[in-house]
Amino acid sequence: MNGKQLKNSILQWAIQGKLVPQDPNDEPASVLLERIRAEKAKLVKEKKIKKDKNESIIYRGDDNSYYEKFIATGEVKCIDEEIPFEIPATWEWARINTIGISQLGKTLDRGKNIGQEYPYLCSINVYWDGIDLSKIKTFKLRDDELPKYRLHKGDLLICEGGDYGRCCVWDRDEEMYYQNALHRIRFYCGLFPIFYKFVFELYRNIGYIVGQGQTIKHFTYESMKSIVFPVPSISEQKRIVELLKEVLYLVKRYDKRQDALNYLNERINVKLQKSILQEAIQGKLVPQIAEEGTAEKLLAEIRKEKERLVKEGKLKKSVLSDSVIYKGDDNKYFEKIGNTEMDITDEIPFEIPDSWSWVRLYDICSYIQRGKSPKYSLIKKYPVVAQKCNQWSGFSIDKAQFIDPDTLSSYGEKRILQDGDLMWNSTGLGTLGRMAIYWSSLNPYELAVADSHVTVIRAMKKFVMPQYLYYYFTSNTVQSVIEDKSDGSTKQKELATATVKTYLVPIPPLMEQDRIISKIKQLASIMRG
């Protein structure tokens, strides 16, 4: 449970009367409401407030249903559907106009407002945790407006728009006013405004407060009047507020520590993932099994397969120009291409098991090529895989645009993406090096092609598993130097096709590739919980 969830649960207990015990010596809330009505009648008589024509009493009937009786008319209606939760028997429900007087602030109209300049609050100053006075503005008020819009200590301020329903208590003695982005509630008979601040916070969290409007939501006075509020005794309000302040302070500390722990866990997971991949591509994640053969034998089989495909005209003869990489008696690495032999020890990033081999990427692939620049169309038939489709979180065809269907014939069969194709983002900082695997099951359309910013890598899948290559190319070994291996300016890096083709890859036997993939997936599942 995170801090927000814990706080919400505590607020729920508090506002439902479950956080502190009820004291039988407390004044019943029904008596408190009678005192409030008496105080309001006195203020009406003194012409300090207007008589509330919608004054009502909410009570529970013998049938356990809730009813609202309007004093002016005697009308009674059942309001069971408006009651959000049960409360203790000593508490009461009431409308906001019963327990306090609400008023919107001064309307801003620079052209019409006259008088002297005074500081005022708006919604950007009001937060759940208190008032922010760093962005105080001023407006003009006439002398006769000052009493109406001046804030008193203990006034509850509620955002009418923006994060509607957000509120806090004005707890200062300094002179301050407020504008019409805020409701002000001034409670009767010593009710605790901070208690009702907590009520509003709970109501906002559980969706009991609803904004009005299509695009911009507003919490209107009519909306606020339609809500019922719990009324405990003054003494119980005080006990609830005191305990909430103490407990929520601890929740805040818990939340900070939880955030720190989550960050730490995330960092640990990232490091573990990198470590697992590194162990995998160095042949340290799973044991080698002699019966599974060697990569050298695997490469010989790949060469035979290529020769067969060249004979059948399915591959060009150029694919047979393999390189042979081997370790000499002096522990140095050499590469032989035709009659040329060179020392490539400096290129080798780490040691691998004896049953593995270092190879150039083109030696184990049937196709490596950038996509082509498309002619786009609004006809959603043939999607184009662009850089934005290849995210570290996976492949998303939803981000693709579409080629003009009439241009499909210009692509050729090889450019049509196949299951298991690696798609490597090859241009631009920030996206350079991101990779995904194409699977037709992720594409609801007939086919897909790649654009010119994506390099398509098609492995000899009978011998090399695309998922293994994906793990290698997404490892820190490759990704940490991807910019160094790219060409171009600082602002526009390019991973040249020649660089991709000649990339060194550590290859294990086929069965070991499969075991590595399974082990990584197993460990990833454990880390996710």
43-57, 330-344, 459-473: which has the highest mean pLDDT? Answer: 459-473
d(CA 183, CA 251): 28
> What is the separation, in whole angstroms, between the first and last Cα of the chain?
15
Are the beta carbons of 249 and 230 closer than 8 angstroms? no
Q: At what angle do helices 234-281 and 3-15 cross, to 10 degrees?
A: 160
Classify 423 as helix, strand or coil: strand
Provide the pLDDT for residue 491: 64
> Cα angle at 316 between 310 and 317, to 5 degrees?
70
From 2-16, 73-87, 192-206, 208-222, the region with the lowest mean pLDDT: 208-222
pLDDT tens digits along 241-289? 999 999 988 888 887 887 777 776 666 666 778 888 899 999 999 999 9
In this prediction, residues 396-423 reach a mean pLDDT of 93
Domains annotated on the chain, with CATH: 3-235 (3.90.220.20), 290-528 (3.90.220.20)
Are the beta carbons of 369 and 449 closer than 8 angstroms? no
- pTM, 2 dp: 0.57
pLDDT tens digits along 334-378? 999 888 899 999 999 999 999 999 999 999 999 999 999 999 999
d(CA 295, CA 480): 26
Torsions phi, psi of 416, nearest 5?
Answer: -75, 125
In this prediction, residues 4-23 reach a mean pLDDT of 90
In this prediction, residues 110-118 reach a mean pLDDT of 83
Token pair of 133 as six digits: 């006075």
Are the beta carbons of 509 and 293 closer than 8 angstroms? yes
Provide the pLDDT for residue 490: 55
In this prediction, residues 422-451 reach a mean pLDDT of 91
Provide the pLDDT for residue 407: 93
Provide the pLDDT for residue 114: 85
Confidence check: pLDDT of 522 > 60 = yes
From 373-377, 426-430, 443-447, the region with the lowest mean pLDDT: 426-430
Contacts (Cβ under 8 Å, ≥6 apart) of 276: 285, 520, 523, 524
Across 237-276, b (16+ Cβ under 10 Å) vs e yields bbbbbeebeebbeebeebbeebeeeeeeeeeeeeeebbeb
d(CA 343, CA 347): 9
Confidence check: pLDDT of 4 > 60 = yes
Contacts (Cβ under 8 Å, ≥6 apart) of 433: 424, 425, 478, 479, 482, 483, 495
Classify 148 as helix, strand or coil: helix
pLDDT tens digits along 116-159? 999 999 999 999 989 999 989 999 999 999 999 999 999 999 99
The count of other CB atoms within 10 Å of the CB of residue 44 is: 13
pLDDT tens digits along 290-335? 999 999 999 999 999 988 988 988 888 877 777 899 898 898 999 9
163 HSE (CA, 13 A, CB side): 15
d(CA 286, CA 516): 6
Torsions phi, psi of 357, nearest 5?
Answer: -140, 145
Q: Residue 280 burial by CB count (10 A; 0-12/13-18/19+): exposed, middle or buried?
A: buried
Q: Residue 25 burial by CB count (10 A; 0-12/13-18/19+): exposed, middle or buried?
A: exposed
Confidence check: pLDDT of 237 > 80 = yes
Average pLDDT of the chain? 90
